[in-house]
Amino acid sequence: MHTGLNIHLSHYQAGACLQEHVHDETLFCLVIGGSYQETIRSRVSEHGQGDFLVCPDATPHAQQIGSKGARKLIFAPGQISLEYLAGHGIRLDQAPCHRSQHFLQLGARLIHELQNDDPYTSLVREGLALELIAAFAREHESGSPSTVPAWLKTARDYINTHYEHSITLEQLAQEVRHHPVHLAREFKRYYGLTIGDYQRRARVELAARLLREGKLPLSEIALSCGFASHANLCRSFRAAYAMTPSAYRLQF
C-alpha cells in the first residue's frame, strides 16, 4: 500500500551554511541529532535534538549547521492534517517549534521503518508521521512551560535527577510540600503521565542517550539508569521505542 507520504532522513555536514531559500509546501522537521541556527523572518533561533518544528511554505529562511553537524527527519503533512491543525487554531505560518523526548522516540521508530521494505511499511510510516503531528499539536495546546506551576516543575526536576531511585508518591509530595493526591492529579494533568510512568520514561530516555553517545555494555547502562537488570531495560525500552536497545544503538 502506498500512502504518498515522502519522508527524508537528511544529513548535514558540520559548519555547512544553507543560504536563504523557500519551500513550495509546508514542511515538518524533527531534529534527530546535532544542532543548527535558523534565521526566518529576521528571527534567529537555535534548534537541537528533540526539536519538532514547522517550516511554512513560501517563507524565506537560512540555516547555519552546528559544529557536530545535524540529522533531520523531514516530511510534508497532507492537506487534511494542515486543515485539521488550522481548525484548532494552530498557526503553522508562525513557524512554531516544540521540544520533547517523545518526539525522539517516535522519530527512532520512524527511522527504523525507513529501513524496512514490506507491504505494510508505507502505512506504518504515515501512522508514525501522524502521531508526531498529534504529539506536536498537544504540546502546542498545553501552552508554554511557564504555565506549569513552579512546585510541579520542582517535582519533575526531582524525578529527572533521582531516576536511579524508586521514588514514592509520598516522598515526592514531601519534597514539594503538597498533598500526594493533589500532586498526582496535577502532575498527570500537566505532563500527561502518571509519576510512575514519567519516572520510567526518564530512565528509558537516559538509556537512549547513553546508547547514542557511547559504547557502554547494556548491563552497565541498565544499572546506571536504575533498572534492576538488562532484561528490565529491554522490556521498558521496547515498550517506548518499539525495538531493542541493541537495534537502537546500531542506528547511531
Which of 48-57, 82-91, 132-141 is least confident?
A: 82-91
If you average pLDDT over residues 158-182, what whole number do you get? 89
pLDDT at 15 > cutoff 60: yes
Residue with cell 508514525: 128
The H-or-E segment that residue 140 falls in is: helix 121-141
Coil vs helix vs strand at 145: helix
Residues 6+ apart with CB under 8 A from 133: 28, 77, 81, 85
Confidence (pLDDT) at 4: 56
Residues 6+ apart with CB under 8 A from 36: 12, 46, 47, 63, 64, 65, 66, 70
Instruction: Indicate the DSSP class of residue 118.
Output: S
pLDDT at 149 > cutoff 70: yes
Evaluate whether 34 touches 70 at the Cβ level (below 8 Å). Answer: yes
d(CA 50, CA 100) in angstroms, rounded, equals: 5
Q: What does pTM read for this prediction?
A: 0.62
Q: What is the mean pLDDT of the chain?
A: 87
d(CA 26, CA 79) in angstroms, rounded, equals: 10
Give the tens place of pLDDT for each residue, 18-53: 998 999 999 999 999 999 999 887 778 889 989 999
CA-angle at 209, arms to 8 and 7, nearest 5°: 10
Most confident of 122-131, 148-157, 162-171: 122-131
